[in-house]
Amino acid sequence: MTLLRSALRARRGLRGFAPLALAAVALAPFALLAACSSDEGGCTKDSECATGRLCEAGTCVNAPTSSATGATTGGGAGATTTGGAGGMAASTGSGSGCDDGLTTCNGACVDTSSTPEHCGGCGKACGAGQLCSAGACKAKCDDGLTTCGGACVDILTDAANCGGCGKACGTGELCAGAACKSPYATSCKALLTEKPGTPNGVYGIDPDGAGAQPPTQLFCDMMNGGLTLVANVYDSAGDDAPNSTDYVVSGWQQKASGQWDAVAKKVDRDATGNGSAAVSLAFVAALKASAGQQNLKMCFVHKDGNDTSCRNSANGSMTLVSYNIGNPKLTVHAADKLTYTFGRLAGLAGSVDGYDMSQFKSYFGCVPVTPGVKWDGEFGGAGDGLCDFNLNDCCNINYNHGVWMAYNSGISFKPMLSGEDELSTEAMGSETLVSNPSVTSYGFRLYVGP
């Protein structure tokens, strides 16, 4: 009964509006005719159509509209819509009239590959803090960062995009200031120049960057201007220096008494008895060619590990040499006096290859040095310097002195021996070997510097 009364009231309420409703129906055809007026004719773009209409396939059509739920009405063939914020629809169409590569979205021509509000399609808005790249929403980059491959990167420091997207650095390289570089210094001097005040210590040194020489941990003598330690020979009771000249060429690392690796991994000022090592001849050549190092310093080593008497080509107390005859492992470096002299002092005889001391030629391959004092157990008295020495070939005395001997009763180096006499000298007034003749000459070190 209640439902019947409600229906009757609703019917009576509509009677007063009947004339208006009828009038609206009667006028509808005229409104449609006006909207479809032939004055519009054909079209090529939206601006040629009446207000509220779009150009679709050369014909003006009613613009699509949408309800709050995103439902679409109107529009020509091929039109699509996407519900936008607040229920407003965005539209695209094959005949939008926009330039190539642009799409009509809500009456505007946009690039859907880069427009955050229409990313990949009309109405596909990116979230807050995102950017549109290649039609996909990405995280928006902060100031100072660049979008590369959808990621925000700092092209000043990113090794995969160093100086620009896709500009990758080589294996092991770092990106600094938009330029690829080795993470290692080319020499101790280079490290000290880049970072003044760097203390003495062991640092990674790579003389030729991406070249053939591997980075090696080397002691840097920063207190003396950035010298790079390239050989440390400490004569303990065991067998410290290698018994083959091949190691001198390749570089070496002592593992234990009489055991070596054929590559230097770390050259430090070790005086424990198992820490002798030297870099390769090629490494020294790279220090000169790529890192600009050109001088050699030699120091004898105290029993406690400190450097004692030294000679240095930088101040003239040592002269770098090379010879084009003699040991073939040295003559290949005849044009490079730094590498040649390093090889001589590191363990290669100047006259012949190998460690048969009876074949050495006395006074051959000499490295001139400022003499010390006769019988001092170091650089000896006045003479020719550090030379091959074998008294058999001159004086018929069965006494062999080594790959080099500091002339006039100084130290001689015999890497082929296995005890404490690898560094030795002769007793005053006799032909007797003296091992460890002085606490100031338990070993020697070679440094390369500018």
Say if CB 224 and CB 189 are below 8 A apart.
no
Same-domain pairing of 134 and 160: no
Instruction: Give the integer Cα–Cα distance in Å for 32 and 25.
Output: 12
Whether 41 maps to a domain, the answer reads no
Whether 57 maps to a domain, the answer reads yes
More confident residue, 402 or 76: 402
Same-domain pairing of 236 and 374: yes
Same-domain pairing of 125 and 154: no
Say if CB 166 and CB 194 are below 8 A apart.
no
Whether 75 maps to a domain, the answer reads no
Domain that residue 91 falls in: 52-64+83-140
Same-domain pairing of 101 and 174: no
Same-domain pairing of 115 and 146: no
Tokens of residue 80, six digits: 């699509």
CA atoms within 13 A on the CB side of 298: 28
How far apart, in Å, are the Cα atoms of 424 and each of 180, 195, 350, 432, 446? 49, 40, 19, 10, 18
Whether 8 maps to a domain, the answer reads no
Same-domain pairing of 296 and 409: yes
pLDDT tens-digit readout, 189-242: 999 999 999 999 999 999 998 789 999 999 999 999 999 999 999 998 899 999
Say if CB 52 and CB 63 are below 8 A apart.
yes
Whether 438 maps to a domain, the answer reads yes
Same-domain pairing of 379 and 415: yes
Whether 89 maps to a domain, the answer reads yes
Instruction: Give the integer Cα–Cα distance in Å for 333 and 342.
Output: 10
Same-domain pairing of 118 and 212: no
Q: Where are the alpha helices (DSSP H) in 241-350?
A: 245-250, 281-289, 328-331, 337-346
pLDDT at 147: 83
Q: Is the pLDDT of residue 330 over 90?
A: yes
Same-domain pairing of 293 and 387: yes
Whether 266 maps to a domain, the answer reads yes
Q: How many domains does the chain have?
A: 3
Same-domain pairing of 250 and 304: yes
Same-domain pairing of 118 and 215: no
Same-domain pairing of 201 and 312: yes
Instruction: Give the integer Cα–Cα distance in Å for 289 and 337.
Output: 12
Helix pair 281-289, 337-346: axis angle to 10 deg: 150
DSSP states along 94-138? TT--PPTT-EEETTEEE-TTT-GGGSSSTT-PPPTTEEEETTEEE
Last residue of a domain, one of 159, 181, 203: 181
> Which residue's structure tokens are 């390239």?
230
pLDDT at 10: 40
pLDDT tens-digit readout, 376-410: 668 887 777 899 877 665 555 545 578 998 877 78
Say if CB 412 and CB 446 are below 8 A apart.
no
Whether 33 maps to a domain, the answer reads no
The enclosing H or E element of 398 equals: none
pLDDT tens-digit readout, 114-152: 778 898 999 998 887 787 777 888 777 878 888 887 677
